[in-house]
Structure formats: structure tokens, C-alpha cells
Amino acid sequence: MTTLHGDIHGAHGHHGGHDHHDGSYLERKGGMIATIIDWATTIDHKKIGVMYLVAVLTMFFVGGIAAMLIRYELIDPVTIAQVDGASVTEGTRLAALFGDKDMSVAEADRIYNRVMTLHGAVMVFMFIVPGIPASLGNFLLPLMLGAKDVAFPRLNLASWYVYVFGSIFGILAIVMGGVDTGWTFYTPYSSSHADPGHWRVVFMILAAFILGFSSIFTGLNFIVTVHKLRAPGLGWFDLPLFVWAMYSTSVIQVLATPVIGITLLLLVFERLFHVGIFDPALGGDPVLFQHFFWFYSHPVVYVMILPGMGIISECIAVHSRKQIFGYKAIAFSSLSIAAISFLVWGHHLFTSEGELAATIFSALTFLVAIPTAVKVFNWIGTLYKGSIQINTPMLYTLFFLFTFSIGGLTGLPLGALATDLHLHDSYFVVAHFHYVMMGGTVIAFLAGIHHWWPKMFGRMYNERWSMFACVLVFIGFNTTFFTQFFLGTRGMPRRYASYLPEYQTLHQISSLGAGILLVGFLLHLALLVGSLIAGKKAPANPWGGLTFEWEADSPPTTHNFHHEPIAKHGPYAFDDVVPPHCDPKDYPLADPLPEGAKAH
């Protein structure tokens, strides 16, 4: 509780409503009901982060089931065979799964469209956008700054409730029978009046609208926290790169989300009052909707990936035990990605906007490649001559470098107009963004979860089995999505339940990969839950990190630190600083020396 800037009004000794100052934040406050109430009303950023982690991983599970259903349907094409003079539909697997095997092809397609929309909407709005910032960001940002909490703790709790409220609207739309607009809600799919799914579409749009508020609340909170609550001596260039990434993410969240807010609000008015702004039947302009939608949804792609990049910067430096290469270049590349992200939305409309606009947006799109590549080169530069420890976070980090680079580089033929005309709306696009979103963000998220798991819950996960699960995820992921690049270049269009027979082999390999991926994720889940029950107790600083969060206990106390930390060295000064609380025997897998060998 010592503060350097305590003022005459009595900052000292004013502890607010917290009861235990030195106990772990996970300490139970009485019985079951008291504990639930304690969590439900908490303003502790760590608990809110954990609550978010549970919530977004639940949505990841829901979206993942939808993904498995998609791959299940695509194991074989829908065909109509002539048997004894009657035509029989074959290959409508989802229709068979959900009841009527003899459903017409059109109805079976409708089921597929809903599952596909469910997968997209849940994964984008409820998992990947809030994912890293709201869970790991919430937990770590104040710790990394040496602060006791985010600037507005109650707003932080409100953001969680808004998130849950919005998700309930989305789930309601799904339970009522689903939405088949695609996650992009393009008009006129989302605005046609005769659609019997009237209220479901309204609910799904409202869900995305409400979730936007939770995103704004988090972003706003983080920006103010970084500006005002840094520990004494912690300058902007002493910040961990994860904080720079979160800051850039927050700028995008605050500046882009209101635009999707008004767009979705107008879309709701479109459905309820038929205002005609986006509906071509009433004189509106559907391309205007696309512009508005992507003015948000393109920047938000970087809301998805920037936090992942922040995690990679942390993991790569700590597990290579080396000063990060090009600190300022990485920090500023995060900000410049955020800035450029607002100028490239038009590349989602290459085939619907004018030629001049397409040319300009194509040129601007290539600009994004520069700061992104700066990051990748700097990460590789950090690895060079580092003492690399291969453990689950590091394995995922290396996995990220591989898959994210593929994702990034396959974006270039999509950003070039001539090649995009061939590739757009094909599986090439699907493969590209899954390599970025999943091979980038989800993989970085897993790296981060394992890197900070000991800090968050005070338990070590099982390193060997987790590395095995990581390898499964790597194999499963690449099997699922690398095949889709081939499907795309050969002309398989996205968003269809059926396909020509010549695509079947590749589709089946892709579905097989999805199965491996599922096994890998379930194994991770079992290992992480298992570690909470039977894991070894984690030391305060298991990896020998130098950022503030490793100075706190594992798990941290309610007030994060016993004393307000003071920045005395850079976040990655591994060359000349001994990490706090660091004991060589705390490194579970570092340099396992063979029996009888002598350490030098």
C-alpha cells in the first residue's frame, strides 16, 4: 500500500471494500452461495478476467460444435440418385442428424446455412473479438502496469454482464431456429420482409449490437488505465509489448465499434419499420451496408489479431530468455496496424465497388503487410541466439509464426485485384482467414493461456501432455485448412452445402483434420481442468519473466502486489537482470541435464 503519489486527502490506508489484502484472489469467501455472490458482484479485474475466460471459452465450444457440424455435412456432396424410378437425395447429413432424412435439398441447404451462420456469428462476435482482451487482457493489463485494478472497475463488471446479456440474445436467436444471413448480415438477406425468421434475425443483430457495448467498455477502460495507472518509473517504452498491443486494440475497439452500432441499429429499424436505407426494394443501397459493415469489421480483424501478437511478443522473449529484438519497432507496428486498419475496408468489396475505389483500396491493403512483417522479422530476430526453452507456450509461439505467416502471405493474392477476381468467395478466402484467425489468434490465445495459467490459478499444467495436445492441434489445424487452399484455387465456392464430386477427397481430408483438432482441444481442456485439481503448485515466477505480473504471487493477492512495484529495469532486460522470485529448480523442463552430467 505504499504510494509515491499519496496525497493529503488520505490515499493511504483507504482500502475500499476489500476484506483480505494478502489472501489469494481465488480464496473462497464462505459457502457456495456467498462465493457465487462474491464473484457475481466482484469488481476485481482478475475475477472478471476469469469470468470472461470461462464465458468466451464456452462460446468457443458452441462455435466449435457448429464447425464440426459443417465439416460433418461436407464429408460427402449432396446428390440426387435415381433408385427404382424415384429420386432419392443422398448426402444431406445434417438433415439426417436433425430428424428428416428425406428432406428436400433446399431445406437441407437451409439447415446448413444456419449452422454456418451460427459458427461465424458465435466465433466472431462472442469468441474472438472479446476473447483475448477481455480475458487475458483484463487479468494481466493492471498487473503488467503495476496497478491495483483497471481505471473503471464497475464499468468492467458491467461489460461482462453486457457481454452475457448480448450472448443470451444470440443464443435465443439460435434456439428459436437459427439465422441464415451469414455472420455479415448482408442486405437483402437480412432485410427481406417476407422471411418468417423475422424476430430471430432481429435478435441476432441486437446481440451483435449489445456485444459492441461490452467491447467499447473494455477498450475505453484499457486506454484510460494505460494512460493513468502505470506504476512509478514505468514509462511508455518500459511497457510490456502485450500492453502496447492491448492499447492499440483498444483504440480500434473504441473508434470502430460505434460505426457497427449505428449500422446494426439501422438494420434493426430496416426490419421493424422498413426504413429503406439498406433495402434495395425500398430504394436503399445494399453496398452502403457493406461499406458500413466493413468499416467496422475490417479494423476489428486487428482487434482479433493484435492481442495475439502481444502474447507472442511476451512468450518469445521470456522463453528465449533474450531481450526482444526491435522493441520500438514492434510497439509502433501495433499502433500503425491500428491506424492502417481504418483505411482498407474496401478490399472486402472488390467485386461490388467501383474500379477506382478497388484500385485504391488494393494499394492501401498492401500497406498492412509492412508493420505485420516488421513484427514477424523481429520475433525471428529475437529467437536468434536465444536460449530457447521448448515448452507449451513456446511451441505454440513457433506454431503461430508458421501458420500466421502462411495466413499473412496468402492475404496478398487476395489483396491484388487480378488474382482476387479468381479467388474471391472461394475456399481460398476461408483458408486464408482461418490461418490468420485460428492459426494466429486462437493459437496465440492458447500460448497465452499456458504461459499465464500458473499465474492465474497458481497451478502448473502437465507440460508433456500439453505439448502432445499442441502437436495434435498443429496437425489437425493444418490438415483442416491447408487442403482448403487447394479447394479454393480449384474453384470450390464458399458457403455451399454441396459440391462437385471431384472435390470430395480434399473435403474429406479437411473433415478428418477437424476431428484431430477436436481431440487436441478436448485434451487441452482436460489437462487444464486437471491441473486445477491435481496440478503442482506454481511458483511466483515459473518462467523467469521480468514484467510486473511475475512479481505478484501465483495466484495474485486481491490487491495484486504486496508493495506497489517500481520499474527498475526494462521488461525484457534478460541480459543483465536476475528475474524476481527466480529459482532454477522452478523451471519444469529447462535444460534437463542427463544423469551424472555436470553443469558448467
Partner 1 sequence: MTTLDINHGGDAKANRPYHQTYTQASHFRSKDEEFDAVKIGMWLFLATEVLLFAGLFVGYAIFRMMHPEAFANGSHYLDWKWGCLNTIVLLFSSWTIATAIGNAQRNEQKALRRNLLITIACALLFVGIKLTFEYMPKWSGWFLSIDPALSHYESSKTALGGMLHFVEGYGGKRPGSLFDYPFAENPYEPMWWSIYYCATGIHATHVLIGVGLISWLYLRARKLHFGPGHYNAVEIVGLYWHIVDLIWIFLFPLLYLIH
Site residues for partner 1 per CB under 8 A: 3-7, 9-11, 14-18, 43, 142, 147-155, 216, 220-221, 223-224, 227-229, 254-259, 261-263, 265-266, 269-270, 273-277, 282-285, 288, 292
Cβ atoms within 10 Å, residue 577: 13
Q: Minimal distance in Å, beta carbon 127 to partner 1?
A: 23
Q: Least separation, in Å, of the C-beta of 554 and partner 1?
A: 21
Cβ-based burial of 564 (10 A; exposed 0-12, middle 13-18, buried ≥19): middle
The rounded distance, in Å, linking the Cα atoms of 134 and 434 is 21
User: Shortest gap between Cβ of 327 and partner 1 (angstroms)?
Assistant: 25
Name 314's Cβ contacts closer than 8 Å, sequence gap at least 6: 240, 241, 242, 448, 451, 545, 547
Judge residue 62's burial from the number of C-beta atoms within 10 Å of its C-beta, 0-12 exposed, 13-18 middle, 19 or more buried: buried
* Cα–Cα dist 469/465, whole Å: 6
Amino acid at 483: T
C-beta closer to partner 1: residue 18 or 536: 18
Q: Find the farthest-apart pair of alpha carbons in the chain and give their distance in angstroms, rounded.
A: 93
Residue 554 Ramachandran class (φ > 0 left, ψ -120 to 50 alpha, else beta)? beta
CB of 145 to partner 1, least distance (A): 11
Q: Scanning the structure block, which residue is given the C-alpha cell 486494440?
A: 249
Of the candidates 171, 229, 246, 230, the one whose C-alpha atom is nearest the C-alpha of residue 204 is 171
User: For partner 1, which is the closer residue by CB, 499 or 561?
Assistant: 561
Distance CA 548, CA 261 (A): 36
* Cβ 28 to partner 1 shortest distance, Å: 19
Q: Which DSSP state fits 493?
A: B
Contacts of 308 (CB under 8 A, 6+ apart): 132, 400, 440, 441, 443, 444, 445, 448
CB atoms within 10 A of CB 502: 11
Residue closer to partner 1, measured from CB, 299 or 588: 299
Establish whether the linkage from the previous residue to 555 is cis, with ω within 30° of 0.
yes
Asked if residue 375 lies in contact with residue 333, where contact means CB atoms within 8 angstroms, the answer is yes
Q: Which residues contact 465 (CB under 8 A, 6 or more apart)?
A: 523, 527
CB distance 277 to 267 below 8 Å: no
Calpha distance 27→301 (Å, rounded)? 37
Decide: 552 and 540 in contact? Cβ < 8 Å.
Answer: yes
CB closer to partner 1, 240 vs 284: 284
Give me the least distance between CB of 132 and partner 1, in Å please: 20
Nearer CB in complex with partner 1: 277/383: 277
Q: In angstroms, what is the minimal distance from the CB of 247 to partner 1?
A: 12
Which lies closer to partner 1 via its Cβ, residue 288 or residue 388?
A: 288
Least CB distance to partner 1 at residue 559 (A)? 8
CA–CA distance, 498 with 21 (Å, rounded to integer): 60
Instruction: Write down the least CB distance from residue 328 to partner 1, Å.
Output: 24
- CB 358, min distance to partner 1, A: 18
Question: Could you tell me the smallest distance in angstroms from the CB atom of residue 220 to partner 1?
Answer: 5
C-beta of 292 vs 550, nearer to partner 1:
292
Measured distance CA(262)–CA(246) in Å, rounded: 25
Identity of the residue, 92 or 218, whose beta carbon is nearer to partner 1 in the bound complex:
218
Burial of 248 (0-12, 13-18, 19+ CB in 10 A): buried
Q: Could you tell me if 110 and 199 are in contact, meaning their C-beta atoms sit under 8 angstroms apart? A: no
| Residue (255 or 374) nearer to partner 1, CB | 255
Closest CB to partner 1 among 273 and 593? 273
We find the least distance from the C-beta atom of residue 52 to partner 1, in angstroms, to be 19
Q: What is the distance between the alpha carbons of residues 13 and 18, in angstroms, rounded to a whole number?
A: 12
Q: Which residue lies nearer to partner 1 by CB, 209 or 399?
A: 209
Which of 67/210 has CB closer to partner 1?
210
Q: Nearer Cβ to partner 1, position 13 or 596?
A: 13
Q: Cell numbers for 143, please give them.
A: 498487473
